[in-house]
Amino acid sequence: MGQSILINFIKEHKISYFIGIIFVLVTSYIQTLFPKVLGNTIDILKENDFKPSFVYVNIGYMIFIALGTFVSTYIWRNLIIGNGRKMESFLREKLFEHFQKLSPEFYNRRKTGDLIAYAINDINAVRMTFGPATAMLVNGIVICVISIYSMAQSINWEITLLSLIPIPFIVFIMFKIGKIVRRRFIKVQENFASISDRVQENINGIRVIKAYVQEDEECTKFEELNERMSKSNLDMVRISSYLSPVIEICFTISFVLNLIVGGKMVLKGEISLGDFIAFNGYLTMIMTPIISIGRIITIFQRGMASLNRLNEIFDTEVEIKAKENSVKTFLKGDIQIKNLTFLYPGSKEIILDDINLSISKGHTLGIIGKTGSGKSTLVNLLLRMYNVQNGMIFFDGIDINDYNPKTLRDNFGFVPQDNFLFKASISDNIKFFKKIYSDEEVMEAAKNSCIYESIMDFSEDFKTILGERGVNISGGQKQRISIARALIKNPEILILDDSLSAVDTITEAQILKNIKRTRKDKTSIIVAHRISQVLEADEIIVMDKGKISERGNHLELIEKGGLYYDIYKSQFNGDENGVKGEIS
């Protein structure tokens, strides 16, 4: 998939690439005219009765060559290197879009730092390969071909071939070194990913690190990663550093052979001094692209290594797909679950076992149970974060797999356990950057989630900028802003996944009261550890080891004296009358 994306981009910009390559060829040809003009000028100056006008004409040619090189180089650099920058932007955008489509299971297996490396270093390496490196390669090949032909015309093929004897050896060394560079560059990228991941984890967990006085230990770990990164970079630089000295030694041999043989020919009068100087000019001209080709091979090896890494990501299958004729109608709120059994991909452990549920529109379902009992997994399946078999989950009588995933999720308001806030204003966090909501709707959602007064206490109220992940506000405030984000959407189905855990009981009761008032005809699912959050639900299910162990309303479950009653006793210290009084 990654290669096809790249090919599509090149096809889309083929005209500008073609024109750019044409101007690279023009630039290369113009550059190869200079040694010949210089040689002719030397021959003119050598004559006893030379005419200055001829010299002035040749100087004019040199200026024309310089101007022609400038203009054509300017054009091809704008076209080819400009396309390289567009490709970089295009690939990064496609990679980000692909990231959005991948399931949570993919992110469970991948480190954040590694994904950042793909989006920055790898794409930049590909850009260098299909931008500057491509142009330099074409430029170098053309200059070499024209220069070799011109050298042969200036003297003869025998001297030309003698001067070029070291070049095959140079090319062999370059390809050998290039392969090693490719392997070592992959190691550099892996180490860069490790460092990025360590920095990201430390920034996000700085409070925990400070609380446990782990600063020195974290610095030590980072030093180890940094040393590893430095070593891998030095290993790559060390091997690529061989290229220039090897090339220079080989060309030094070429110049020595040329001076010995060509010098004798000049002294014997077999060739003119101007031809000899032109020959050396062409040889010098060849040296630059050969050195550049060494660098180009290094860039190409890096680019191919990065392209392979990117292909690995692009080829990762999007697991949650929409069918061709998927349903795109809005939900009414009726949910049915039949014999639902679920295992996480690649796992043999059954997480949910034979779940059967029916939630009518306008009803509230409470889900309670011990940690790891499968509560969050169940609501994630309703959002189709993971694939389930046909015939297990239905919305309004239609199988979940028949719905378009985007349409399905658009009908949900979801507040997860791990609240995520963006570095933006409170208003934007509640609106989720959507412009369809008015300021009045934002304030109403804030009031219903009991965060309005706290917001108004801030110096800039709703315009207050939150820190990354809401670092500058409390856990309870984060949860209430996240609830406001779900309420402003007024979804057909609202899911609160243990999203009141950091809220005091008085505020919790008020939020639940507001939700009940504003969502009379809409479906709600409340996942909780505290019984106080679910006691007024129309139905409560108790999860245990992936199964529904008990179901009923609060009073029915209390009378059963099972797991729910045990949880109730531990939370209310046996004050049964107090809880019964609350729901009467």
Q: What is the DSSP string of 27-58?
A: HHHHHTHHHHHHHHHHHHHHSTT--HHHHHHH
Q: Over 80: is that where the pLDDT of 175 sits?
A: no
The whole-number pLDDT of residue 575 equals 54
Q: How many independent structural domains does the chain possess? A: 2
The whole-number pLDDT of residue 67 equals 93
- Residue 201 CA to residue 197 CA, distance in Å, equals 6
The whole-number pLDDT of residue 392 equals 93
Position 232 in a domain: no
Q: Are residues 288 and 179 in the same domain?
A: yes
pLDDT tens column, 367-400? 998 888 889 899 999 998 888 889 999 999 999 9
Q: Over 70: is that where the pLDDT of 298 sits?
A: yes
CB count within 10 Å of CB 227 equals: 11
Q: How far is CA 298 from the centre of its chain?
A: 24
The whole-number pLDDT of residue 50 equals 62
Position 346 in a domain: yes
Q: Over 90: is that where the pLDDT of 237 sits?
A: no
What is the dihedral sign for C-alpha 161, 163, 169, 173? Answer: negative
- Of residues 231 and 104, the one with the higher pLDDT is 231
pTM, two decimal places: 0.71
Query: Does residue 548 sit in helix, strand or coil?
Result: strand
Query: Does residue 465 sit in helix, strand or coil?
Result: strand
- Of residues 582 and 169, the one with the higher pLDDT is 169
* Domain-terminating residue out of 314, 335, 365: 314
Q: Are residues 122 and 260 in the same domain?
A: yes
Q: Are residues 308 and 363 in the same domain?
A: no
Q: Are residues 252 and 363 in the same domain?
A: no
- Report the CATH number that the domain containing residue 43 is assigned in CATH: 1.20.1560.10
Q: Over 60: is that where the pLDDT of 502 sits?
A: yes
- Report the CATH number that the domain containing residue 566 is assigned in CATH: 3.40.50.300
Q: In Å, what is the CA distance from 411 to each residue of 114, 247, 390, 569?
A: 33, 65, 20, 37
Position 195 in a domain: no
Question: Which of 326, 240, 231, 339 has its CA nearest to residue 291?
Answer: 240
Q: Are residues 299 and 152 in the same domain?
A: yes
Determine the average pLDDT of the residues in 557-563. 89
The whole-number pLDDT of residue 580 equals 47
Q: Give percent of the chain above pLDDT 90.
A: 20
Give the residue numbers spanning the domain of 351: 323-411+526-584
Which of 159-168, 451-460, 491-500 is predicted with the least confidence, judged by mean pLDDT?
Answer: 159-168
The whole-number pLDDT of residue 493 equals 92
**Any idea what DSSP says for residue 131?**
I
Q: Give percent of the chain above pLDDT 70.
A: 96
Q: Are residues 250 and 118 in the same domain?
A: yes
**Mean pLDDT across the chain, nearest whole number?**
84
The whole-number pLDDT of residue 583 equals 43
Q: Over 80: is that where the pLDDT of 13 sits?
A: yes
Q: Are residues 58 and 22 in the same domain?
A: yes
Position 154 in a domain: yes
- Of residues 231 and 318, the one with the higher pLDDT is 231
pLDDT tens column, 214-223? 888 888 888 8
* Domain-terminating residue out of 269, 294, 314: 314
The whole-number pLDDT of residue 204 equals 73
pLDDT tens column, 243-285? 778 777 877 887 787 778 778 887 877 777 777 777 777 777 7
Q: Over 90: is that where the pLDDT of 523 sits?
A: yes
Helix intervals (H) in 449-575: 452-457, 475-487, 505-518, 554-560, 563-572
Contact in structure between 470 and 458 (CB atoms under 8 Å): no
Which of 112-121, 128-137, 148-157 is predicted with the least confidence, judged by mean pLDDT?
Answer: 148-157
Q: What is the largest CA-CA distance in the chain?
A: 124
Q: What are phi and psi of 551, to 5 degrees?
A: -150, 155
Determine the average pLDDT of the residues in 85-94. 89
The whole-number pLDDT of residue 56 equals 81
Position 513 in a domain: no
Position 57 in a domain: yes
Give the confidence band of 294 by pLDDT, cuts at 50, 70, 90: low
Q: Are residues 270 and 392 in the same domain?
A: no
- Bridge partners, 403 (sequence order): 327
* Domain-terminating residue out of 284, 314, 344: 314
The whole-number pLDDT of residue 2 equals 57
Question: Which of 488, 495, 479 has its CA nearest to residue 412?
Answer: 495
Q: Are residues 560 and 579 in the same domain?
A: yes
- Dihedral angle over CA of 103, 108, 109, 115, nearest 10: 80
- Of residues 272 and 443, the one with the higher pLDDT is 443
Q: How far is CA 436 from the centre of its chain?
A: 29
Determine the average pLDDT of the residues in 13-18. 89
- Return the top range by mean pLDDT from 205-214, 310-319, 547-556: 547-556
Determine the average pLDDT of the residues in 432-445. 88
The whole-number pLDDT of residue 250 equals 78
Q: Are residues 391 and 253 in the same domain?
A: no
Q: Are residues 248 and 343 in the same domain?
A: no
The whole-number pLDDT of residue 444 equals 92
Q: Are residues 333 and 285 in the same domain?
A: no
Position 461 in a domain: no
The whole-number pLDDT of residue 581 equals 42
Position 190 in a domain: no
The whole-number pLDDT of residue 49 equals 65
Collect all residues with Cβ–Cβ distance below 8 Å to 517 and sequence separation of at least 6.
none
